[in-house]
Amino acid sequence: MLPDRIYLTLSTIEFPRYEQDIPDELYRLIMTSNRVILNWVDTNWKSFKKVFPVLPYLEDDDIIIDIDDDMLLPGDFIESRMKDFTANGCKFPITSNHSKTMNLDSLVLSAYSLFQKKMLNHYDMLLNETVLNTCNDDRTYLYLIHMNGYKLKPCTKWCVKGDVQKLDLMPPSGYRYDVGQKYDEVVSPVLASLSGGRPISECFNLFKDMNRL
């Protein structure tokens, strides 16, 4: 199973000469495939470049699978995520991580997870410089999914952490980002400005509640 579209977001800060600076093989792939779409941005959002810059081009029910670009995935990886999504009634995000997270009743959300654009609705209300500077896109997706009223379901295969068949991940790169409690401490004032001071644990379906006001 192949995705309908693969969005590749590149920063003009990293590639100031645009296509002239990217590898020839990648350029040929972009030019010869109607699936691979090159999306240029003028800022370097680091890990946040993977999903947020392409959201304006997606429909609410479009499915997003958030992956890292430094490893080869199993041939049935996308198929397994879609099977899990379908088995859960096509109503829940599928996380690659079976661990419980802190500060809210949820699993951790890691790379290689599946969600839909509508599960990240109102991202523009949360995404500011404070959040971007955490460099933690995965926990930001988790916050948004929680505030949009969706519960994570665990994958049944190809997990990052859990008791089912694991992905053969690359060694850690040393990439720095705010995790867990540190992220929550940094982002909590941003959330408080939206929720009237409530902590993230009390903000399930917050955006729907706000629309009633």
> 207 pLDDT band (50/70/90 cuts)?
very high
Whether 90 is covered by a domain: the verdict is yes
- How many angstroms separate the Cα of 164 from the Cα of each of 62, 141, 142? 27, 23, 22
Query: Is the same domain home to 15 and 71?
Result: no
Mean pLDDT of 130-140: 95
Whether 52 is covered by a domain: the verdict is no
Round to whole Å and give the CA distance between 75 and 124. 34
Q: What is the pLDDT of residue 3?
A: 72
Instruction: Tell me the average pLDDT of the chain.
Output: 90
Query: Is the same domain home to 33 and 126?
Result: no
Query: Is the same domain home to 161 and 192?
Result: yes
Whether 55 is covered by a domain: the verdict is no
The answer to whether residue 172 scores a pLDDT higher than 70 is no
Whether 186 is covered by a domain: the verdict is yes
Domain boundaries, position 156 = 60-212
Query: Is the same domain home to 40 and 138?
Result: no
The answer to whether residue 141 scores a pLDDT higher than 60 is yes
Confirm if 100 and 154 have CB atoms less than 8 A apart.
no
Query: Is the same domain home to 24 and 84?
Result: no
Whether 105 is covered by a domain: the verdict is yes
Query: Is the same domain home to 86 and 117?
Result: yes
What is the amino acid identity at position 180?
G
Query: Is the same domain home to 86 and 156?
Result: yes
Q: What is the pLDDT of residue 211?
A: 62
**Range from 23-27, 48-52, 87-91, 176-180 that averages highest in pLDDT:** 87-91
Whether 51 is covered by a domain: the verdict is no
Query: Is the same domain home to 65 and 146?
Result: yes
The pLDDT tens digits of the residues spanning 28-85 come to 988 999 888 888 988 888 889 889 999 998 999 999 999 887 788 999 999 999 999 9
> 165 pLDDT band (50/70/90 cuts)?
very high
In three-state secondary structure terms, 119 is: helix
Whether 54 is covered by a domain: the verdict is no
Q: How many Cα atoms are found within 13 Å in the side-chain-facing hemisphere of 170?
A: 12
Tally of domains in the chain: 2
Q: What is the pLDDT of residue 169?
A: 83
Whether 138 is covered by a domain: the verdict is yes
The answer to whether residue 91 scores a pLDDT higher than 60 is yes
Retrieve residue 212's tokens: 């009633």
Query: Is the same domain home to 95 and 152?
Result: yes
Percent of the chain with pLDDT over 70: 95
Query: Is the same domain home to 20 and 68?
Result: no
> 1 pLDDT band (50/70/90 cuts)?
low
Query: Is the same domain home to 16 and 64?
Result: no
Query: Is the same domain home to 84 and 176?
Result: yes
Q: What is the pLDDT of residue 213?
A: 43
The answer to whether residue 197 scores a pLDDT higher than 60 is yes
